[in-house]
Amino acid sequence: MSMSPQQQYNAFQTIVVKEVRRFMRIWVQTLIPPAITMVLYFVIFGNLIGRRIGEMGGYDYMQFIVPGLIMMAVINNAYANVVSSFFGNKFQRSIEELLVSPTPHYIILAGFVAGGVARGILVGLIVTLLSLFFAELHIENLFVTVLVVVLTAALFSVAGFINAVFATKFDDISIIPTFVLTPLTYLGGIFYSIDLLPEFWQKVTLLNPILYMVNAFRYGVLGVSDINVWVALGMIILFTVALTAYSLRLLDRGTGMRS
């Protein structure tokens, strides 16, 4: 009497609906702030400062930074959604509702990740629409663009999940975004081409996973990238698979959830 595929799908759908309902219910906290932040980036960096910078990578500075900023919004929101939702469930102990149920661990992870991806993509769309007020945007390669967005949102949703598993207090869910995610994002080639960096720092930058996402996405939108797009996609898939395997191991062991 284990769960049939249909029952597993019902459980998955339940988690996703609950997650989407959660971030839609608090849209003032989840959807509006990234829109405002990105408009400020577009105005200050793209419009005011960008006019003095001129071209980068063969494009207007504004056009150059738009893909990176969209990606930044996707990354931050996918991560934030899962880390805050899963930790909130742990904090209120409502995660026990799921843990006592027969829902398999991979469905639990898939449900939370799908919720994170949904918010990441929705915010990405909002930011993309806002960017149209500041720059012309045509998609060079739709397949790569969509694939990169979905995979990146999934990767950072899984990363948010891991953060939430280990978090024991609310401070713990802001430490990683503040001290790891934000620096990596800013140093991930959103605002500049890595060609501008000295050779040594170019090599160091290659260790930053966000560089691959920003560049793969920029390739999809503009058709230019500092990194070979297939290498970038390979790296994103590699990170996603590794973190997913680790998350499932944490769930199986009950780390941070079962005593």
Partner 1 sequence: MQHALTITNLRKTYASGVVALSGIDLTVAEGDFFALLGPNGAGKSTTIGVLCSLVRKTGGKVQIFGHDIDTAFESAKMELGVVPQEFNFNQFERVMDIVVTQGGYYGLEHAVAVERAEKYLRRLGLWDKRRERSRELSGGMKRRLMIARALVHEPRLLILDEPTAGVDIELRRSMWKFLREINEQGKTIILTTHYLEEAESLCRKVAIIDNGEIVVNTTVKALLSQLKTETFVLDTREDITTVPQHPVFRLQKVDAHSLEVTMDKSQSLNDLFPVLSECGLNVVSLRNKSNRLEELFINLVEKKLDE
Interface residues toward partner 1, by CB under 8 A: 1-4, 6-8, 10-11, 13-15, 17-18, 88-89, 92-94, 96-104, 254, 258-259
d(CA 180, CA 184): 6
Spatial distance between the Cα atoms of 251 and 78, rounded to a whole number of angstroms: 20
- Min. distance of Cβ 19 from partner 1 in angstroms? 11
Q: What string of DSSP letters covers 161-208?
A: HHHHHH--STTHHHHHIIIIIHHHHHTTTSSS-GGGS-HHHHHHHTT-
Q: In the complex with partner 1, which residue's Cβ is closer, 2 or 133? A: 2
Closest CA to 151 of 239, 220, 44, 65: 239
Q: Please, which residue, 94 or 182, has the CB nearer to partner 1?
A: 94
Beta carbon of residue 99, minimum distance to partner 1 (angstroms, whole number): 6
Instruction: Report the nearest approach of partner 1 to the CB of residue 28 (Å).
Output: 15
Least CB distance from residue 238 to partner 1, whole Å? 31
Nearer to partner 1, 96 or 140 (CB): 96
Nearer to partner 1, 103 or 152 (CB): 103
CB 55 within 8 A of CB 61: yes
Taking the least distance from each CB to partner 1, the nearer of 11 and 187 is 11
Q: C-beta of 89: minimal distance to partner 1 in Å?
A: 7
CA gap 24, 5 in Å, rounded: 28
> How far apart are alpha carbons 168 and 166 in whole angstroms?
6
